[in-house]
Amino acid sequence: MATEIPAAEETLTLRDHSTVGSGNVVIQVQFAYNDFGQLITDYQAQGGAVNTSTSPKVQYGYANGSANTIRPTTLTYPNGRVLTYDYGASDGMDDAASRVASLVDDDGSSTHLVDYAYLGPGSSAQSVDSPFGQGFVVADCTEPDTQWTLVDLSGTNDSDTGDIYSGLDRFGRVKDNRWYNYAGSADVERIKYGYDRVGSLTWRQNVVANALNQRFDELYSSDRLSRLKEMSRGMLNDSHNTISNQSLAECWSLDGTGNWKRYLEDRDGDGTWDLNQARTSSGVNEITNITESAGTSWATPAYNQTGNMTTVPQPNDLTDSYSAIYDGWNRLVKLVDGATAIAEYEYDGAKRRTVVKSYSSGTLEETRHYYFTDPAKWQVVGERVDSSSDAERQLVWGLRYIDDLLLRDRDTNSNGALDERLYALQDANWNVNALADTNGDVQERFTYLPYGDCLELNPDFTVYSGSDLFWTRRFSGRELDLTTGLQINRNRYLHLQLGCWVTRDPIGYSDGLNLYQYIDGRPSVSSDPLGLLRIHGDYEGDYEFDDSHLPKRTGPWREWWNGLNKPQRWLISSAALCMTGLIASLTFDAIIRWFYCKDFDASLICSALGGCIAGICIPIIIGSGIFGPFAWWATAGAIAICAIVGALVCDRCAEAMGGANSPCNFV
């Protein structure tokens, strides 16, 4: 397989030959841009070369610049559906700030699929590299009369924060994630949260489940590295520090790099561990053995030389395993059970998974084709089955987050008409917790274990007994492969039961020392839509340094620095720190020579050399961010220590050159 990327980067071609330009075109995508460099057409051909007249395409419309804006105005789906970005009244605040006020459908009645309200200037989720929108406080889905809101419904001030934004705590973290049906004057989905001083989740309360006397509150504890250690489910007390009527519990023990050493599970909450599991891992954090003192025996993973999991415990039957096959880019392309094919996958030149072939008893059952927004967002907007040119499913995405799913339309009887619409109700960590129809009535619910294993529920929180809605978007808003049980987070597959990725991190050690660990052991407060690194949202209580609000530094130096990994930055910053010591010694020696030896030439040379080194090294130390708030202290300490050592060294050198009676021999 060869990939061609022309210099203009307008066409990405995959061929069935190892030599570039040879063989047949397998998959091709082609991008067309306007004069402002904005993508206007994304042609996506599967099974051959792009034909600009017939190939499925996703199109984008923008303002033409005459009103000093080139903001997005429309998104056109492969079947011609047009989604309009409405900015409100021409003299309104949304229009002036270029904030999207509504997403409008072209269904003949111009249905407002969602209306937004903001706190502050506000902005939409732009890309997978900038996945969070800013300032959203209300998302009103007018068709089902259901709104997500962080604003107190009565308009009164919150007793803790003193303002009307009752959904946010004093640190901007979501404390009350509410979906309210204003036609029925009732909450359809509502989760409350509590955090500790470092932003770890300590409790989670399901208000709607409580009203139905169902036990779905959760209590958490973390280790000293803020990694999840324990979770218990049941009914929270009023102080949110004790669980009663426990229905489920889990416990983890993690090693220094985040591998699960022990995993315990009490599935019925009776106080007895139904699973007591021990794991061992290799020096590169691959699982080497899984044993148990209680519960069923899971299959043990195996890996190839590039770190891809080739023996994969089956998520739907952990006692058995799949054999996995990968391509040259370490992407999963096939799963088999013994000699029986289970699934096959194909990707385009932009890394998007475009084709999924599902098998039943080794016989091809379905070939599903996926169509996406541009690679910067990488969102599925349409799905077709087999050779049909009609959409079997269409997805509409909101603007609060890159995986903020607004709704799904589906053709339930294969007649070419999208006859079923379901709205996705997501929590603060973007898990899809409930599905509501166009009347605002909940059709199905989901509850999750912290690492994503899912249980389907009826609207009253009992075990699901309704018809299969074939809903795939679940944990953290990502797609669950219903055939295999693996979840795809764009670049990689996540094994929800093992709690880790099945392949190594494509970006290496930029996100930590463990290339398989899922979001640093903090699954309840973080997400990873790219499958590359843990990200922080504007409503998430994560206190790691986030400079997204600061003006961005540009230029060759900044691009070079951002391209380095953590070990390289440490090496360069440490070297700069050592060089700072040389500054101190040279400066100290220059002062001595000036006042005592009157060696003006030597003093001038030492001072100039010290100043040059300082001009290079101190910005590296302070600007690198490696030493955090201690950068100035580290610099001062290095100067103090090295000044003394440097003075001694310089003095001995002077003694060696000038003899014991040298006028500059002071020690």
What would the pLDDT profile of 405-446 be if each residue is shown by its tens digit? 999 999 999 999 999 999 999 999 999 999 999 999 999 999
In this prediction, residue 219 has a pLDDT band, given cuts at 50, 70 and 90, of: very high
Please identify which residue in the block is written with the tokens 């069935």.
Answer: 16
- What confidence tens digit (pLDDT) does each residue in 43-60 have? 999 989 999 999 999 999
Question: Which range among 137-151, 400-414, 571-585 shows the weakest confidence by mean pLDDT?
Answer: 571-585
Of residues 364, 338, 318, the one with CA closest to residue 498: 318
C-alpha distances out from residue 637 to 167, 378, 580, 583, 588, Å: 45, 48, 10, 13, 15
Which sign does the torsion angle of CA 222, 224, 226, 229 carry?
A: negative
- What confidence tens digit (pLDDT) does each residue in 326-366 have? 999 999 999 999 999 999 999 999 999 999 999 999 999 99
The per-residue DSSP string of 163-209 comes to SS-TTB-TTS-BSEEEEEETTTTEEEEEEEEEE-TTS-EEEEEEHHH
Query: Which amino acid, 584?
Result: A
Q: Tokens for 536?
A: 């922080």
Question: Residue 304, Cα to own-chain centre: how many angstroms?
Answer: 26
- What confidence tens digit (pLDDT) does each residue in 497-539 have? 999 999 999 999 988 899 999 999 999 999 999 999 988 654 4
- What confidence tens digit (pLDDT) does each residue in 612-622 have? 555 555 555 55
Which sign does the torsion angle of CA 84, 374, 71, 532 carry?
A: positive
What pLDDT shows up at residue 547? 37
Report which of residues 586 and 122 the model is more confident about.
122
What pLDDT shows up at residue 553? 44
Query: Which amino acid, 527?
Result: S
- What confidence tens digit (pLDDT) does each residue in 241-295 have? 999 999 999 999 999 999 999 999 999 999 999 999 999 999 999 999 999 999 9
Q: How many CB atoms lie within 10 A of CB 59?
A: 17
What pLDDT shows up at residue 552? 44
pLDDT at 87 over 80: yes
pLDDT at 599 over 80: no
- What confidence tens digit (pLDDT) does each residue in 613-646 have? 555 555 555 555 545 545 555 556 655 655 555 5
Q: Tokens for 414?
A: 């294969």
Task: Give the mean model confidence (pLDDT) for residues 109-119.
Answer: 92
Task: Give the mean model confidence (pLDDT) for residues 651-661.
Answer: 51
Q: At a CB cut-off of 8 Å and minimum separation 6, what does 448 contact?
A: 431, 454, 455, 474, 475
Do 502 and 495 touch, CB atoms closer than 8 A?
yes
Q: At a CB cut-off of 8 Å and minimum separation 6, what does 473 contact?
A: 395, 403, 405, 408, 424, 432, 479, 480
Phi, psi of 159 (to 5 degrees): -65, -25
* Helix%, strand%, coil% for the chain, nearest 5: 15, 35, 45
Give CA angle at 396 (172, 460), nearest 5°.
70
What's the DSSP call for residue 268? S
- Stated as kind and residue range, the H or E segment containing 249 is strand 243-254
CA atoms within 13 A on the CB side of 590: 16
Report which of residues 551 and 641 the model is more confident about.
641
Please identify which residue in the block is written with the tokens 């600009």.
Answer: 52
What pLDDT shows up at residue 415? 94
Of residues 357, 378, 384, the one with CA closest to residue 79: 384
Checking 659-667 for CB contacts under 8 A at 24+ apart, the result is: 663/596, 663/597, 664/592, 664/593, 664/596, 664/597, 664/599, 666/592, 666/596
pLDDT at 401 over 60: yes
- Dist CA 436 CA 442 (whole Å): 4
- Dist CA 630 CA 640 (whole Å): 15
Report which of residues 657 and 317 the model is more confident about.
317
Do 44 and 66 touch, CB atoms closer than 8 A?
no
Q: What is the mean pLDDT of the chain?
A: 86
Which sign does the torsion angle of CA 204, 206, 210, 215 carry?
A: negative
Query: Which amino acid, 369?
Result: H
Q: Tokens for 369?
A: 């084709």
pLDDT at 546 over 50: no
Q: Give the three-class secondary structure for 325.
A: strand
What's the DSSP call for residue 351? S
- Dist CA 320 CA 314 (whole Å): 6
Question: Residue 26, Cα to own-chain centre: how many angstroms?
Answer: 30
In this prediction, residue 8 has a pLDDT band, given cuts at 50, 70 and 90, of: very low
- Dist CA 316 CA 483 (whole Å): 9
Which sign does the torsion angle of CA 625, 628, 629, 635 carry?
A: negative
- Dist CA 471 CA 100 (whole Å): 28
- What confidence tens digit (pLDDT) does each residue in 291-319 have? 999 999 999 999 999 999 999 999 999 99
Alpha-carbon radius of gyration of the chain: 29
Beta strands 287-294 and 302-303, pairing class: unpaired
